[in-house]
Amino acid sequence: MSDTPDSGLVQLLTPEGERVEHPDFSFPGDDEMIAGFLRDMVIARRIDSEGTALQRQGQLGLWASMTGQEAAQVGSGRAAKKQDYVVPSYRETAVAWVRGLDPVALSAVFRGVDLGAWAGNDGNFHPYTMVVGSQALHAVGYAMGITADGATATGNPDTDEAVLAFFGDGATSQGDVNEALVFSSSFQSPIVFLCQNNQWAISVPTTRQSRIPIARRADGFGMPGIRVDGNDVLASFAVTSWALDRARAGEGPAFIEAFTYRMGAHTTSDDPTKYRLNAELESWKLKDPIERVRAYLRRSGSVAASFFDDLAAQADDVAADFRSRTLALADPLLEDSFDLVHAEATEHIIEQKAAYIDYASSFEEE
């Protein structure tokens, strides 16, 4: 692997939409599966643009856009099996979508009505963690628990479990991510780390996080590190499937760097025109993860001509539903907060709750 920024990437679908071979990885699915990936990516991008719009209209306090990262998220997310546990960072809109999470669970967080109460959802999709990199350790601990349960490396790929943990390029500078890599390697835990290198940690480029391609760091922790074209959904799926299969089989952790690009701002709070050149954005638009799949499917003729229009309409419907239900979210009650501090309530907080309710109700009577 040489050190140029985009060298050594596993790619199975070019930006022009042509399938290419790779010596180590191949995409096992058919065109129907690829069309399904396109559907996921288009809908996720539409949810994302609606989230940004809702923030601009004052309906959300914040939104973390992932436009540009659909292939990395859909490819890896679809590689996880139902029994796998997926631990996101806070930008995994498309992963949430493929794990079956209601997107309103996400907007509830950014609207300020909830802190991420979707734990226990059927999609095994862990709540967001806003502190950068913290979740990598939780993911490893969970994977250690899978091992302790004997729920992996039994030889049955239909039931063996693994963890898929997401974080960004900036998070690789955090101590917690490095400690997570140490623990997972030491205990050979069934986990795959999926680093979405979207080139920017808010306004700071990846070069300020690492002098070498981030995937090469994996070598120092004793696990394979693979760089994949994160704008190529086929390659993202193939590489993540390989790593998860390996983890479930008891062969230990792996580190994937999905080389991609965040087309929008870090969140709606920053302005990327202040820290990066327009030419960079334009060059990445040519590598758009959605356009290359569209081009491929058009050329292959495996979907009906109406497929793309139907999909656009479907995405608009999802977005409209997302919008209307986001706007209908009820504010939480502060009094419920008191009940949720501990699993086993304390006298002190029970008394404080009663005092709060007394105080609050004194206004209602006026």
Partner 1 sequence: MAETLTLGKALNAGLRKALESDPKVILAGEDIGKLGGVFRITEGLQATFGEDRVIDSPLAESGIVGTAIGMAMRGYRPVVEIQFDGFVFPAYDQIVTQLAKIHHRTRGQLKVPVVVRIPYGGGIGAVEHHSESPEAYFAHTTGLKVVTCANANDAYWMIQQVIASDDPYIFLEPKRRYHDRGEVDTESEPLTLHAARVAREGSDLTLLCYGPMVKTCLQVADAAAEEGRSLEVVDLRTLSPIDMATVVTSVHRTSRAVVVHEAQVSYGIGAELAARLSEQCFYDMEAPVLRVGGYDVPYPPSRVEEEYLPDLDRILDAVDRSFAY
- When binding is defined by CB under 8 A, the residue of 346, 354, 355, 360 that contacts partner 1 is 346
Residue list 21-40, contact with partner 1 (CB under 8 A): none
With binding defined as CB under 8 A, does residue 358 bind partner 1? no
**In the complex, least distance from residue 4 CB atom to partner 1, rounded to whole angstroms:** 33
Write the secondary structure of the chain as one string of H (helix), E (strand) and C (coil).
Answer: CCCCCCCCCECCECCCCCECCCCCCCCCCCHHHHHHHHHHHHHHHHHHHHHHHHHHCCCCCCCCCCCCCHHHHHHHHHHCCCCCEEECCCCCHHHHHHCCCCHHHHHHHHHCCCCCCCCCCCCCECCCCCCCCHHHHHHHHHHHHHHHHCCCCCCCCCCCCCEEEEEECHHHHCHHHHHHHHHHHHCCCCEEEEEEECCEECCEEHHHCCCCCHHHHHHHHCCCEEEEECCCHHHHHHHHHHHHHHHHCCCCCEEEEEECCCCCCCCCCCCHHHCCCHHHHHHHHCCCHHHHHHHHHHHHCCCCCCHHHHHHHHHHHHHHHHHHHHHCCCCCCHHHHHHCCCCCCCHHHHHHHHHHHHHHHHHHCC
With binding defined as CB under 8 A, does residue 182 bind partner 1? yes
**In the complex, least distance from residue 191 CB atom to partner 1, rounded to whole angstroms:** 10
Which one of the spans 76-84, 133-141, 313-321, 322-330 is the region binding partner 1 (CB under 8 A)?
133-141
**In the complex, least distance from residue 163 CB atom to partner 1, rounded to whole angstroms:** 9
Residue list 77-116, contact with partner 1 (CB under 8 A): 114-116
Size of the site for partner 1 (CB under 8 A): 44
**In the complex, least distance from residue 203 CB atom to partner 1, rounded to whole angstroms:** 23
**In the complex, least distance from residue 160 CB atom to partner 1, rounded to whole angstroms:** 15
Which one of the spans 19-27, 238-246, 297-305, 346-354 is the region binding partner 1 (CB under 8 A)?
346-354
Which one of the spans 93-101, 254-262, 270-278, 338-346 is the region binding partner 1 (CB under 8 A)?
338-346
**In the complex, least distance from residue 268 CB atom to partner 1, rounded to whole angstroms:** 22
With binding defined as CB under 8 A, does residue 340 bind partner 1? yes
Fill in the per-residue mask, 142 to 181: x = in contact with partner 1 (CB under 8 A), - = not in contact. Answer: xxxxx-xx-------------------------xx--xx-
